[in-house]
Chains A and B, each alone.
Chain A
């Protein structure tokens, strides 16, 4: 019998049947308490990492998906029932790497983590953006320049947790 598959919200295709119990939501609520040092994990391929620098081209708006450390092991972002992420690496940045005021010289936006649990991936979170002063909602920067600048900014702060081999 083929494994059951689920397409997460822009996330990954995995065999839900093999999903560790701790990753299931099981009715747990959202938790928006993030400590500054909490790590946010994301998988990557070797080609995105050039001479010890991660290219901002590997990041995207809007609402970039990550797994939060509070409820996730680094390897959870590589979980797949079909081995599709064999050889991929895991990188992370921390909550305090997300700028509360951006750009620094003329702040108009704020970036922060948002816990967006999914039924089959409770640690799932997203990088959200709000305007300044805050609206409390996700605000997409109208300027592509801000997006480009932020992607470069966060790529400078990325660290490798598990090195990619593919």
Chain B
């Protein structure tokens, strides 16, 4: 069965080989293909882990904000909003959806934003424990994503955001 292989050192060149190829050269190529595919897989996995850790670190950074961080009197994020934002990031993992940015909320809390072109969505974890989202395209009327803050309803909201962002 033919497989396609992208040579890491020369990304413009592709090779096609037979899995059942015979001879030392073919066996060597199959070995290299297998090793490189493992490296690619591990690299994708590592990147995802790295991004997740960066996002969690960002939430921890926001936890140390002081009130009036926006100079307009915004409250600092509470432990409750930090815990919910962390939970949202964990619920995002199986959806394979990366936040564009994680921001403090001027209303108090932490928001996780997603942007793709003119598509925008965010999910906001308030200081009071509510989890509420919004999404829209360009100047179209925004749509609300209400949740009861349970894992199930937050996951449903995140799935809606994923579908919206991916168009």
Contact = CB atoms under 8 A, between A and B. Distances in A.
Query: In the complex, which of the residues A12, A55, A144, A147 has the most CB atoms of chain B within 10 Å of its own CB atom?
Result: A55
A134 interface: no
Contact of B144 (A13, A104, A145): A145
Contact of A152 (B70, B105, B136): B136
Contact of A55 (B70, B74, B111, B132): B111
B144 A55 contact: no
Nearest to A12: B71
A85 B70 CA distance: 10
Contacts of A152: 134, 136, 142
Interface residues of B, number: 31
Contact of A104 (B106, B132, B141): B141
Interface string A39-58: 00011010110110101111
Interface stretch (B9-17, B39-47, B96-104): B96-104
Contacts of B120: 53, 55
A126 to B, nearest CB: 11
Interface stretch (A27-35, A59-67, A68-76, A110-118): A59-67
Query: In the complex, which of the residues A42, A56, A147 has the most CB atoms of chain B within 10 Å of its own CB atom?
Result: A56
A58 B70 contact: yes
Interface residues of A, number: 36
Contacts of B130: 144
B142 A145 contact: no
A156 B139 contact: yes
A149 B103 contact: no
A43 B69 CA distance: 13
Given A47-B101, A55-B103, A149 B134 contact: yes
B82 interface: no
A148 B136 contact: no
A57 B106 contact: yes
Nearest to A9: B73
Contacts of A105: 141
A148 B144 contact: yes
Nearest to B108: A60
Interface of B: 70-74, 100-101, 103-107, 111, 113, 115, 117-118, 120, 122, 124, 126, 130, 132, 134, 136, 138-139, 141-142, 144, 146
12 contacts: A10-B72, A50-B100, A55-B103, A55-B111, A55-B113, A56-B122, A57-B103, A57-B106, A64-B72, A65-B72, A148-B134, A149-B142
